[in-house]
Amino acid sequence: MKALHKFFHSDAAGGIIMLLAAVAALVIANSPFYNLYETALAQNLTVGFTTPEGAPAFALQKPLILWINDLLMAIFFLFAGLEIKRELFVGALASFKTALLPMIAAICGMAIPALVYLFILRDQPQYGHGWAISSATDIAFALGVLALLGSRVPASIKVLLMAIAVMDDLGAILIIAFFYAGAISATALALAGLAALGLFILNRLKVVAYGPYFLVGFVLWAALLKAGIHPTIGGVILGFAIPMRDEEGTHCPLETLEHIIKPWVVFAILPIFAFANAGVSFEGLGLSALAHPVTLAITAGLFLGKQLGIFGAIYGAVKTGLCPMPVRASWAQIYGMAMLCGIGFTMALFVGGLAFDDPSMAVYVRMGVIGGSALSALCGYGLLYIAVPRSSEGLSK
């Protein structure tokens, strides 16, 4: 029991469980149970409520896979919003000095993979809409791989990876909001604006009870869904609305809520998402599928674009004197960390589902994401294993 307790409280636990869920999905997708797997995910579910008189007041019918990607992932984005806000106020991004290096690295780490993707597909513009698939880092997987190396990894490397991944998430959120919106409904968008204003007012009034925020947040989520803007953005807005401190300054609602929902996100929502989205059937697929332009572009964007963009940005910023070198870190360790940033599993699959409506494209997106993420994880871990010293004394301070 002690070992189990230690595992579930380790940084690696979430990444390992999500990896097991993804592997389980791959095994089922290539077994006689594949049709059952696909049928279950396509099953329509209706969620709603009625008036006291019994008339339907609100109802949504969606396949199970969309409930997972739209509703459960909104809770993940709520967690991401809480995490980003905390880092901006009291964490590694709280001052310009500490935020500058990860900010530069994150921007280049999003731009270069997109450029690599677009360069590979320069003669096939019909696939260009997927340019953002390779842009975001999966923070749970990346930190999980890093945690496997234990305390031998310098604390500055862990903080830098966390800060870059948090900024990646913020960038991905903005990309989803501005580039992957559907046809906009003005009425629903106006309602969403009123709900967002309501959250702002609750924050300014220093309301610390979660109930009002969740109620208005649900209205925001539903309005965004009807408006044609991906509803997960509502989770981020809700996260930013939760106050950092109460009026007396003795209680932190944001950190408390983050602590409450973290286990649900790490051990339930992300594994469920991985299980629902990683199932790739290889039946009838040959080398042509592996060599599909979208598969190659996503793989190259994650594996090559991420490491080149992030390491190049950090190297340039340090060598020009713009930013200091991370404490007790070597260039080999920084390069290994940059490789790990190419693990883009969760957000990459999520953006891939938004970028391509054609179900036939899902297999190429999934293969590219899994391939690029696996290469990044294996090579990043291997380089860091060689680069970190065997003695951990003083490195995690």
Per-residue pLDDT tens over the stretch 25-49: 989 989 999 999 999 999 988 766 6
Nearest-5° Cα angle at 235, 253 to 166: 80
3-class state of residue 185 by DSSP: coil
The yes-or-no verdict on residue 210 having pLDDT over 80 is yes
Q: Read off the tokens for 23.
A: 């592997």
Domain span at residue 22? 10-180+230-387
Task: Please tell me the total count of domains within the chain.
Answer: 1
Q: Is residue 396 part of a domain?
A: no
Residue 48 to residue 231: CA distance in whole angstroms? 16
Mean pLDDT, rounded, of the chain: 87
Q: In this structure, is residue 192 part of a structural domain? A: no
Residue 392 has pLDDT above 60, yes or no: no
The CATH number of the domain where 327 resides is what?
1.20.1530.10
Does residue 95 fall inside a structural domain? yes
* 220 in a structural domain: no
Residues 262-316: tens digit of each pLDDT: 999 989 998 999 899 888 777 766 667 778 999 999 999 999 999 999 999 999 9
pLDDT exceeds 90 at position 70: no
Does 201 map to a domain?
no
Express each pLDDT in 129-145 by its tens digit.
999 999 888 887 888 88
Q: Kindly state whether residue 325 falls inside one of the protein's structural domains.
A: yes
Interacting residues of 7 by C-beta distance below 8 A, sequence separation 6+: 13
Is it the case that residue 54 has pLDDT exceeding 70? Answer: no
DSSP annotation of 252 reads -
Q: Assess if residue 248 is contained within a domain.
A: yes
What number is the average pLDDT over the span 232-254? 87
Residue at 187 is within a domain: no
Nearest to 165 by CA among 247, 80, 236, 222: 80
**What does 107-158 look like in DSSP terms, one character per residue?**
HHHHHHHHHHHHHHTTT-GGGGGGTTTTS---HHHHHHHHHTTGGGS-HHHH
pLDDT-based confidence at 394, cuts 50/70/90? very low
Locate 293 and state its tokens.
């332009």
109 or 166: which carries more pLDDT confidence? 109
Which pLDDT belongs to residue 397? 44
